[in-house]
Amino acid sequence: MDLKGTMFRISIFLLLFISWLIFACSTPSWFPIKKGPPHKAKTKEFLDKEVIIIDREEYVKVVNPKASETANEQKYQYIPINDYLLKKGAFSPALPQKEDQRMDIPVSPKPPVSAVGKEVLVVSSQVSPVSDLRKKVVITHLDDRTDQTDEMFGDIITEKLMKELDRRTRQALFVDFEMVKEFLRGRGMALTDLEKPDTLRLLNEIFGVHAIVSGHLSGPYVFTSKTAEGRQETSSAIIRIEVSLVETYTGKAIKTFSVNNPIQAAKERGTFSDEKAKLRAIDFTVSDLGRSLSRELENLIWFCRIAKVEGEEVYLNAGKLTGLKVGDILDVLGPEKPGDRETVKGKIRVSTFFGIDASIGRLIQGNQPDTNDILKLARHEGK
């Protein structure tokens, strides 16, 4: 009897084990817990659609509803899978490509996401010929009028402003201010001569500088208060930055800016709240200033100059860093004065680069150019 009872219990155990195994391997769709990677649950939903991976995120290719309204819109757009599942009726899926329905597309940086439909466009837009030519800018040390000799806020703000402009526009190429100061000293000129028309024109001819940003700051001023118990302190800070944007070609100030942060925007609590508030005030003010300056820099007209003519070779004070390309055609306009009517006296083709940011070209049309002649882009190579 004991043997039969033991066999019976073993049989029951085996039956229960097999049933559990079958159940575990075929979890029904209604069961609340599912094992395996999340995308397995979406496989059926996207079998007939083109799905791509961008930076490890999955997107569905759909027809852009705006494409029929204007020719400037892309025919297709890419929607994140989760957004597509939430609004399936709003999108018409594009037919998948037979050769490659799923592929990894290396994109750097990640494609921009619009605020309305979170559309991801993987097709890079064409850039206008002049927009990728960078203008050389000098940002001087900002004088600190608060006389805080123990802190170098002028240097900090100058560094942050260059980074902010670099983030906002592709058209700024910064010239080292220390190099400019050394150049002025070598010529026996004082730093106070920097914004004189003759000095500005010299910087334009030698270094190709288009504009100079100079000015001063006041602050940051910090206001600190503590709770009644004195356990937690709260600090706010405010800073004002005033700068002028001066064009080297005309020697005139294009625009002056005076910006400061809202005091409530630079409010910090806890340990080192005063230092945190200072940095927050600087960040807010620099961001505001960078937005305004970038717009003005983009409105400047790009040009470069002939540094030297040697036989058939023409040396230019702009090169690869500026954005010129071998094969670019530039119009030779002559050393006109500001306001003079431009007349094209010849054309030069860029043949090679040299130095930090210089190039060599050859005359392909017109009269022999002269030193300090002004050049403007006529045709960008590959455009």
Quick one: 172 and 316 in the same domain? no
Say if residue 144 is in the same domain as residue 290: yes
Q: Which residues contact 286 (CB under 8 A, 6 or more apart)?
A: 157, 160, 161, 164, 241
Residues 350, 361: Cα–Cα separation, whole Å: 4
> Over 90: is that where the pLDDT of 106 sits?
no
For position 59, what pLDDT does the model report? 63
**How high is the mean pLDDT of the chain?**
76
Q: Give the Cα separation of 63 and 92 in Å (integer).
A: 6
Q: Among 280, 299, 318, identify where a domain stops.
A: 299
Domain residue limits at 223:
135-299
Predicted confidence at residue 230, as pLDDT, reads: 62
pLDDT of residue 78: 63
Closest to 216 measured CA to CA, from 256, 172, 252: 256
In the listed set 100, 125, 150, which residue is the last one of a domain according to the structure?
Answer: 125
Q: Are residues 374 and 245 in the same domain?
A: no
Q: What is the distance between the alpha carbons of residues 129 and 35, in angstroms, rounded to a whole number?
A: 54
Residue 294 resides in a domain: yes
| 116, 166: one domain | no
Distance CA 368, CA 279 (A): 55
Beta bridge partners of 331: 347, 376
CB atoms within 10 A of CB 226: 12
- Determine the pLDDT at residue 10: 67
Whether residue 278 sits in one domain with residue 141: yes
The residue among 251, 269, 299 that closes a domain is: 299
pLDDT tens, 57-104? 666 677 766 656 555 455 656 667 777 776 666 666 655 444 333 333
Q: What is the pLDDT of residues 356-374, one digit of tens each?
A: 899 999 999 998 899 999 9
**Position 151 in a domain:** yes
Higher pLDDT, 120 or 315: 315
Q: Looking only at Cα atoms, what is the longest distance across the chain?
A: 119
Residues 165 and 279 in one domain: yes
Q: Are residues 318 and 230 in the same domain?
A: no
Residue-wise pLDDT for 131-173, tens only, equals 579 999 999 988 776 655 556 788 889 999 999 999 999 999 9
Give dist(CA 358, CA 345) in Å, integer: 22
Q: How many domains, the chain?
A: 3
Judge whether 36 lies within some domain: no
Phi, psi dihedral angles at 351 (to 5 degrees): -110, -30
- The answer to whether residues 215 and 287 belong to one domain is yes
Query: Is 289 contained in some domain?
Result: yes
Report the CATH number at residue 238.
3.40.50.10610
Asked if the structure places residue 262 within a domain, the reply is: yes
Residue 290 included in any domain: yes
- Residue 347 half-sphere exposure toward CB, CA atoms < 13 A: 10
Domain annotation covers residue 71:
yes
Residues 57 and 90 in one domain: yes
What is the tens place of the pLDDT at every residue in 184-233? 999 999 988 998 999 999 999 989 999 999 999 998 899 988 766 666 78
pLDDT at 35: 37
How far apart, in whole angstroms, are the C-alpha atoms of residue 317 and residue 332?
A: 14
Q: Which two structure tokens, joined as six digits, stand for 110?
A: 């990640």
For residue 52, give both structure tokens: 């791509």
54 and 140: one domain?
no
Residue 9 lies in a domain: no
Question: Does 263 lie in the same domain as 149?
Answer: yes
User: 138 with 177: CB under 8 angstroms?
Assistant: yes
Locate 140 and state its tokens. 């001087």
201 and 246 housed in the same domain: yes
**What pTM value is reported for the model?**
0.62
